[in-house]
Amino acid sequence: MADPLTNAAVAQQKIVVSKSSVQALWDQSISWILSHYLQIAIAAVIGAALVALMLGGRWLGQRLCRQAGHLTHWPATLGRVIMVTRLWFMVLFAAKLVSGYADPPHLVAQTIDVAFTVASALQGALWAREFVLGIVEGRAGGDGHSHLSSAIGIIRLMVTVILFAIAIVAILDNLGVNVTGIVAGLGIGGIAIGLAAKGIFDDLFSALSIIFDRPFMQGDSIRWDKTSGTVEAIGLKTTRVRATTGEEVVISNTQLLNKELHNLARLNRRRVEFTLHVAYHTPPTELARAQTLIADVLAKRDKVKLVRCGLVDFSMATIELKIEFDVMSQSWDEVFQARHDIAVALLSALEDAGIVLAGPDGKAITPPVVTPPPGAVGGPPLENKGGTGRG
């Protein structure tokens, strides 16, 4: 068992050493100032000029941030990073640069090095945080992701904690502290937190995927699984879709990205298909004329492009005539109206051409042409029946 008197003596010796180090630093500093005042004055002027130059750079960064609405994403992010440069870092950076000219004593130079190391680590964490957040917010802002403010707040907290934890570990390592245990503890703690909050992190990273990959944005019409509707809000955990049937559908971000998703808002055209069933007694010459007839009907329509049309199958009861055309519009209302107008025009054209449509049972559904009776208007003439006379 250690002697309490011995432990007290050791502690007292450490305090004495600490006090003697501070006293030695003070004595060396006074002696250095008295003997190198001219070099110190010149170095101070140069350092002040460097600080003024860096303050000018920070002012430029502030101007870039104020003009963010008129600039592209990257200049605004650069201005944001420059703007967070702290004055204490500028002073220590200038002191580090000019310290060699002033020829400071060992303890003073060592103090400047330690202070500059701490300042550099903390300033680097600030720069990295603003750079990451600038990229994330630049991708999220103004592109239909305004409802991701909660996700941005969580991302800001996570980035800040991670970067400053790295900065503190780097500072301790540069000061000679054994950080192996600290790093191992942080790693184990991070794994435990990740396993405990797996669902939250899944949805958070899914929200990040929506920000960066942009599969859809607020206001887009999408089709997912059995749901079709308009995106109303994109949040940290869920996305809210107003279905075409009127109700609001809340979908987890993770589930939303795990299945095939159709973004209908990015269509530059919509494909429409018709299948007409033609009666078997239709003459082959009329069927051969059907392609030209259909092409003429579609050519008269704006924003409509014929893809293909023709006979595709001989079923048990009818001949199948298939038509495919594109409507060059993103609006479903315009496509719906164009499909209706073309269907009516096709029925009218086919009826005028004498092409008879049939139902699934093969019976004609187009009204047949009624021939007036003999002797009526438009009908054949009456037959002139001559009688035999008796002689």
Same domain, 127 and 187: no
22 shares its domain with 133: yes
Judgement on whether residues 195 and 285 belong to the same structural domain of the protein? no
Q: Which domain holds residue 294?
A: 270-353
- Same-domain pairing of 218 and 324: no
307 and 211, same domain (yes or no):
no
Tokens of 61: 């960064």
**Which of 236, 266, 296 is the endpoint of a domain?**
266
Which pLDDT score, from 0 to 100, does residue 11 have? 40
Query: What is the average pLDDT score of the chain?
Result: 79
Examine the pLDDT at 64 and tell me if it is beyond 90: no
Residue at 274 is within a domain = yes
Q: What's the confidence (pLDDT) of residue 1?
A: 43
In a domain, 168, yes or no: no
Q: Are residues 27 and 134 in the same domain?
A: yes
Answer whether residue 49 shows pLDDT above 70.
yes
Q: What is the mean pLDDT of residues 37-41?
A: 80
14-23 LR contacts (CB < 8 Å, sep 24+): 21/107
Least confident of 46-50, 114-118, 347-351, 367-371: 367-371
Helices 106-140/149-174 angle, 10° precision: 160
What band does 97 get if pLDDT is binned at 50, 70 and 90?
Answer: confident
pLDDT digits 0-9 by tens, 119-165? 999 999 999 999 988 887 776 654 444 555 556 777 788 888 889 98
Are 20 and 126 contained in the same domain?
yes
CATH code of the domain in which 201 resides: 2.30.30.60
Residue-wise burial string across 338-357, b where 16 or more C-beta atoms lie within 10 A, e elsewhere? bbeebeebbeeebeeeebbb
Which tokens is 275 given? 């299948």
Q: Residue 52: is its pLDDT beyond 90?
A: yes
Is residue 201 domain-shared with residue 104, that is, in the same domain? no
Q: What is the CATH number of the domain that holds 310?
A: 3.30.70.100
Domain boundary among 221, 245, 266: 266
| Residue 106 placed within a domain | yes
34 and 94 fall within a common domain = yes
pLDDT of 240 over the 80 cut: yes
Selection from 263, 271, 277 nearest residue 358 by Cα: 277
> Does the pTM exceed 0.75?
no
Count the domains in the chain.
Answer: 3
- pLDDT for residue 7: 42
